Chain A
Amino acid sequence: MSARHSFPYLPVPGTASVMPLLPLRLKSLEVEVKATALLDSGATVNVLPHSLGVQLGLDWTSQSHVLELGGNLARHEARGVLLEAAIEGFPPVRLAFAWSASDNVRLILGQINFFLAFDVTFRRADLAFDLWLR
Protein backbone atom coordinates (compact mmCIF):
# COMPACT_ATOMS: atom_id res chain seq x y z
CA MET A 1 0.00 0.00 0.00
CA SER A 2 1.31 3.48 -0.88
CA ALA A 3 1.57 6.44 1.46
CA ARG A 4 -1.70 8.13 2.36
CA HIS A 5 -2.08 11.77 1.42
CA SER A 6 -4.69 14.19 2.69
CA PHE A 7 -6.37 16.86 0.60
CA PRO A 8 -8.70 19.65 1.72
CA TYR A 9 -12.27 20.05 0.55
CA LEU A 10 -12.29 23.08 -1.74
CA PRO A 11 -14.85 25.79 -2.28
CA VAL A 12 -17.02 25.42 -5.38
CA PRO A 13 -16.65 28.65 -7.33
CA GLY A 14 -19.77 30.77 -7.30
CA THR A 15 -21.36 28.88 -4.40
CA ALA A 16 -21.05 28.61 -0.64
CA SER A 17 -20.41 24.86 -0.91
CA VAL A 18 -17.26 22.86 -0.42
CA MET A 19 -16.62 19.57 -2.22
CA PRO A 20 -13.96 16.85 -2.43
CA LEU A 21 -12.22 18.49 -5.38
CA LEU A 22 -8.83 17.10 -6.31
CA PRO A 23 -6.23 19.20 -8.17
CA LEU A 24 -4.45 17.14 -10.81
CA ARG A 25 -2.66 17.35 -14.13
CA LEU A 26 -4.14 15.45 -17.07
CA LYS A 27 -1.89 14.49 -19.93
CA SER A 28 -2.70 13.23 -23.41
CA LEU A 29 0.00 12.27 -25.90
CA GLU A 30 1.27 15.81 -26.30
CA VAL A 31 -0.62 18.19 -24.03
CA GLU A 32 -0.81 18.61 -20.27
CA VAL A 33 -3.64 20.52 -18.58
CA LYS A 34 -4.15 21.43 -14.93
CA ALA A 35 -7.64 20.71 -13.68
CA THR A 36 -9.72 20.10 -10.57
CA ALA A 37 -11.81 16.94 -10.45
CA LEU A 38 -14.77 16.01 -8.28
CA LEU A 39 -14.40 12.70 -6.44
CA ASP A 40 -17.79 11.10 -7.01
CA SER A 41 -18.16 7.62 -5.56
CA GLY A 42 -21.66 7.42 -7.05
CA ALA A 43 -20.41 7.88 -10.60
CA THR A 44 -20.02 4.66 -12.56
CA VAL A 45 -17.17 6.08 -14.64
CA ASN A 46 -14.72 8.97 -14.85
CA VAL A 47 -16.11 11.82 -16.96
CA LEU A 48 -14.22 14.35 -19.06
CA PRO A 49 -16.11 17.50 -20.16
CA HIS A 50 -15.92 18.15 -23.88
CA SER A 51 -13.89 21.39 -23.79
CA LEU A 52 -11.26 19.85 -21.52
CA GLY A 53 -10.77 17.02 -24.02
CA VAL A 54 -10.34 19.61 -26.76
CA GLN A 55 -7.75 21.45 -24.62
CA LEU A 56 -5.91 18.15 -24.31
CA GLY A 57 -5.73 17.89 -28.08
CA LEU A 58 -8.19 14.99 -28.38
CA ASP A 59 -10.00 14.56 -31.69
CA TRP A 60 -13.65 13.62 -31.23
CA THR A 61 -14.09 12.14 -34.68
CA SER A 62 -11.20 9.72 -34.30
CA GLN A 63 -12.49 8.17 -31.04
CA SER A 64 -14.03 4.80 -31.78
CA HIS A 65 -15.12 3.68 -28.30
CA VAL A 66 -18.73 4.86 -28.11
CA LEU A 67 -20.32 5.06 -24.65
CA GLU A 68 -23.72 5.73 -23.16
CA LEU A 69 -23.89 7.70 -19.94
CA GLY A 70 -26.70 7.89 -17.41
CA GLY A 71 -28.07 10.71 -15.28
CA ASN A 72 -28.27 14.16 -16.83
CA LEU A 73 -25.59 13.18 -19.36
CA ALA A 74 -27.76 10.49 -20.91
CA ARG A 75 -28.80 12.66 -23.83
CA HIS A 76 -25.20 13.42 -24.84
CA GLU A 77 -22.86 11.18 -26.78
CA ALA A 78 -19.63 10.05 -25.12
CA ARG A 79 -16.38 8.41 -26.18
CA GLY A 80 -13.89 6.36 -24.16
CA VAL A 81 -10.39 7.87 -23.91
CA LEU A 82 -7.26 7.09 -21.92
CA LEU A 83 -5.25 9.81 -20.16
CA GLU A 84 -2.37 10.01 -17.73
CA ALA A 85 -3.17 11.73 -14.44
CA ALA A 86 -0.58 13.20 -12.11
CA ILE A 87 -1.72 13.79 -8.53
CA GLU A 88 0.61 15.39 -6.02
CA GLY A 89 2.35 12.77 -3.91
CA PHE A 90 1.66 9.85 -6.27
CA PRO A 91 3.23 8.40 -9.41
CA PRO A 92 1.24 9.06 -12.62
CA VAL A 93 -1.71 6.72 -13.22
CA ARG A 94 -3.64 5.78 -16.37
CA LEU A 95 -7.27 6.78 -16.13
CA ALA A 96 -10.02 5.91 -18.59
CA PHE A 97 -12.58 8.67 -19.12
CA ALA A 98 -15.97 8.91 -20.73
CA TRP A 99 -15.40 12.03 -22.82
CA SER A 100 -18.79 13.68 -23.00
CA ALA A 101 -20.02 15.80 -25.90
CA SER A 102 -21.38 18.12 -23.21
CA ASP A 103 -19.73 20.81 -21.15
CA ASN A 104 -22.58 20.83 -18.68
CA VAL A 105 -20.66 18.56 -16.37
CA ARG A 106 -17.69 18.64 -14.05
CA LEU A 107 -14.52 16.67 -14.47
CA ILE A 108 -15.53 13.60 -12.45
CA LEU A 109 -13.48 10.80 -10.94
CA GLY A 110 -15.73 7.77 -10.58
CA GLN A 111 -15.69 4.03 -9.91
CA ILE A 112 -14.09 3.08 -13.26
CA ASN A 113 -11.33 3.52 -12.85
CA PHE A 114 -10.30 6.12 -10.27
CA PHE A 115 -11.80 4.18 -7.37
CA LEU A 116 -10.16 1.01 -8.69
CA ALA A 117 -6.77 2.72 -8.62
CA PHE A 118 -7.15 4.61 -5.33
CA ASP A 119 -8.65 3.95 -1.95
CA VAL A 120 -10.40 6.99 -0.52
CA THR A 121 -11.72 8.04 2.86
CA PHE A 122 -13.98 11.06 3.05
CA ARG A 123 -13.88 13.08 6.27
CA ARG A 124 -16.49 15.75 5.59
CA ALA A 125 -16.56 17.00 9.17
CA ASP A 126 -12.81 17.62 8.95
CA LEU A 127 -13.20 19.10 5.45
CA ALA A 128 -10.61 16.64 4.16
CA PHE A 129 -10.26 13.37 2.28
CA ASP A 130 -7.43 10.88 2.14
CA LEU A 131 -6.08 9.02 -0.87
CA TRP A 132 -3.75 6.11 -1.19
CA LEU A 133 -2.79 4.12 -4.23
CA ARG A 134 -3.77 0.47 -4.30
Chain B
Amino acid sequence: MSLAELAPQLHALPRGEKIMALQLLTADLSAEEVDPLTPGGFYPVFTPESSPGAEEVLLNLLREDAPA
Protein backbone atom coordinates (compact mmCIF):
# COMPACT_ATOMS: atom_id res chain seq x y z
CA MET B 1 0.00 0.00 0.00
CA SER B 2 1.40 3.41 -0.93
CA LEU B 3 1.47 6.54 1.20
CA ALA B 4 -1.05 8.16 -1.15
CA GLU B 5 -3.49 5.33 -0.40
CA LEU B 6 -2.80 5.45 3.34
CA ALA B 7 -2.97 9.23 3.77
CA PRO B 8 -6.79 9.60 3.80
CA GLN B 9 -7.06 6.89 6.47
CA LEU B 10 -4.31 8.52 8.55
CA HIS B 11 -6.01 11.92 8.32
CA ALA B 12 -9.25 10.34 9.55
CA LEU B 13 -7.69 8.94 12.72
CA PRO B 14 -8.55 10.54 16.07
CA ARG B 15 -5.79 12.76 17.54
CA GLY B 16 -4.64 10.11 20.03
CA GLU B 17 -4.18 7.50 17.34
CA LYS B 18 -2.39 10.01 15.10
CA ILE B 19 0.16 10.48 17.89
CA MET B 20 0.45 6.70 18.28
CA ALA B 21 1.04 6.39 14.52
CA LEU B 22 3.73 9.09 14.75
CA GLN B 23 5.40 7.29 17.64
CA LEU B 24 5.28 4.01 15.74
CA LEU B 25 6.98 5.58 12.74
CA THR B 26 9.51 7.52 14.80
CA ALA B 27 10.37 4.28 16.63
CA ASP B 28 11.03 2.67 13.24
CA LEU B 29 13.19 5.61 12.19
CA SER B 30 15.00 5.59 15.50
CA ALA B 31 15.73 1.87 15.16
CA GLU B 32 17.35 2.63 11.82
CA GLU B 33 19.81 4.93 13.61
CA VAL B 34 22.02 1.97 14.41
CA ASP B 35 25.18 3.82 13.49
CA PRO B 36 24.16 7.45 13.36
CA LEU B 37 27.71 8.79 13.23
CA THR B 38 29.15 8.05 9.84
CA PRO B 39 32.79 8.99 9.23
CA GLY B 40 32.81 12.05 7.00
CA GLY B 41 29.12 12.70 7.69
CA PHE B 42 27.75 16.20 8.19
CA TYR B 43 26.05 16.80 11.54
CA PRO B 44 25.01 20.42 12.05
CA VAL B 45 24.90 21.76 15.61
CA PHE B 46 22.88 24.92 15.83
CA THR B 47 23.17 25.49 19.56
CA PRO B 48 24.12 29.14 20.20
CA GLU B 49 25.82 28.58 23.55
CA SER B 50 27.97 31.22 25.22
CA SER B 51 26.20 34.07 23.48
CA PRO B 52 27.84 37.07 25.17
CA GLY B 53 25.26 39.39 26.67
CA ALA B 54 22.38 37.98 24.60
CA GLU B 55 20.59 36.60 27.64
CA GLU B 56 20.63 39.97 29.37
CA VAL B 57 19.29 41.79 26.30
CA LEU B 58 16.38 39.36 25.96
CA LEU B 59 15.64 39.42 29.69
CA ASN B 60 15.53 43.23 29.55
CA LEU B 61 13.12 43.03 26.61
CA LEU B 62 10.84 40.79 28.66
CA ARG B 63 11.09 43.05 31.73
CA GLU B 64 10.18 46.11 29.64
CA ASP B 65 7.22 44.18 28.22
CA ALA B 66 5.92 42.98 31.61
CA PRO B 67 2.80 44.69 32.94
CA ALA B 68 3.62 47.28 35.63
Interface residues of A (CB under 8 A from B): 8-11, 16-18, 38, 40, 42-47, 65-74, 78, 80-82, 94, 96-98, 105-106, 108, 110-113, 127-128
B42-68 contacts to A (CB < 8 Å) = 44-55, 57-62, 65
CB contacts (< 8 Å) of A128 on chain B: these are 23
CB contacts (< 8 Å) of A71 on chain B: these are 45-51
CB contacts (< 8 Å) of A110 on chain B: these are 47-48
CB contacts (< 8 Å) of A96 on chain B: these are 58-59, 61-62
B52 A68 Cβ-Cβ under 8 A: yes
B48 A17 Cβ-Cβ under 8 A: no
How many B residues face the partner with a CB closer than 8 A?
Answer: 30
CB contacts (< 8 Å) of B49 on chain A: these are 42-44, 70-71
B58 A98 Cβ-Cβ under 8 A: yes
CB contacts (< 8 Å) of B13 on chain A: these are none
Given contacts A68-B52, A110-B47, could you give 16 more A-B pairs where the C-beta distance is less than 8 Å? A8-B23, A8-B26, A11-B26, A42-B47, A44-B48, A45-B51, A65-B58, A69-B48, A70-B49, A71-B50, A71-B51, A73-B48, A82-B62, A98-B48, A108-B46, A127-B27
CB contacts (< 8 Å) of A72 on chain B: these are 44-46
Bound Cα distance from A73 to B13, whole angstroms: 41
Bound Cα distance from A71 to B25, whole angstroms: 32
Q: A65-B57, A65-B61, A94-B62 are in contact. Are A38 and B26 (CB under 8 A)?
A: no
A125 to chain B: closest residue by CB:
B30
Q: A18-B29, A67-B51, A73-B46 are in contact. Are A45 and B22 (CB under 8 A)?
A: no
